Structure 1
Amino acid sequence: MVKLTQYRQIIQKLLSEYRDWAAGANQIGIQECVSFDRERDHYFWFHVGWDGKRRDFAVMVYLKIEQGKIWIEEDWTKQGIANELLGAGIPPEDIVLGFQHPSKRPLTEFATV
């Protein structure tokens, strides 16, 4: 349970930092957001708004915690959220690259499931 609490805190901190960094770009009409479903362990960083007459909505990072592992389901960061998680002390065996096809996961340093 301690590990789960720690993982939740790390994820929320990282995504909040990304949101704050992206909000500094001052894109008029675009709002940077995070959403944390702590009950079901789903965590999002996304942006929403209008770019002129065009609707702009995108999920930048989507993480979930399942069976004690952090699943990266979406990651549009340049440096890779996996690297940030590793830097925060989360071992590679507790990170799953969910956006990778299951057949490709054994080729990485991370968990397969």
Structure 2
Amino acid sequence: METLTYKQLIQDIIQNYADKHPQNQPIETQIVFDPQNHHYLLLYVGWEGEKQIYGCPIHVDIKDNKFWIQRDFTEEGIASQLLEAGVSKENIVLGFRSPFNRQFTDFAAS
């Protein structure tokens, strides 16, 4: 898979999650795509009374033609979706795990 395909794939995955979140809530769903620098995020921003809500359930970077999953608070798992789309385990890095612990996963260490 080429980087361009990788960009579109992660954008489609994040867009799918954003579409599931109702937009008429006081919590806004924001999609942040920076294809030039290879950063892809889903954010929740808003207020519930006096409490500020800010969350980043998905953050994926593309580095050295690999998906670096920096944050994944999805039920299905971004890595699982990438595998289903045909991405090899060698091209997925669980960046939310420490460099030491990555060697014990079935995915790339870096």
TM-score by length of 1: 0.92
Q: Distance in 2 between matches of 1:58 and 1:42?
A: 16
Off by >4 Å, runs of 4+ in structure 1: none
Could you say what the CA RMSD is over the residues aligned between the two structures, in angstroms? 1.2
The answer as to 2:7 corresponding to 1:8 is: yes
The count of residues paired between Structure 1 and Structure 2 equals 110
| Aligned counterparts of 1:48 and 1:88: Cα–Cα separation in 2 | 29
SS at match of 2:17: helix
In the alignment, is residue 94 of structure 1 matched against residue 91 of structure 2?
A: yes
Rounded to whole Å, the distance in 2 between the matches of 1:30 and 1:4 is 32
Match of 2:28 among 20, 28, 31: 31
More moved, 62-71 vs 2-11: 2-11
Q: Which residue matches 2:16?
A: 17
The TM-score, its normalising length taken from structure 2, stands at 0.95
* Counterpart position of 2:108: 111
> Which whole-Å CA distance do the structure 1 matches of 2:61 and 2:87 have between them?
14
1:48-59 superposed matches below 5 A:
48-59=45-56
The share of aligned pairs that are identical, in percent, is 36
* Counterpart AA for 2:40: Y
Name stretches of at least 5 consecutive residues in structure 1 with no aligned partner. Answer: none
The residue type paired with residue 10 of structure 1 is: L
**1:23 deviation in Å?**
2.6
Of 43, 53, 69, the residue aligned with 1:46 is 43
Query: Matched residues in 1 for 2:86 and 2:60: separation?
Result: 16
The SS at the match of 1:19 is: helix
Pick the aligned partner of 1:68 from 35, 46, 65.
Answer: 65
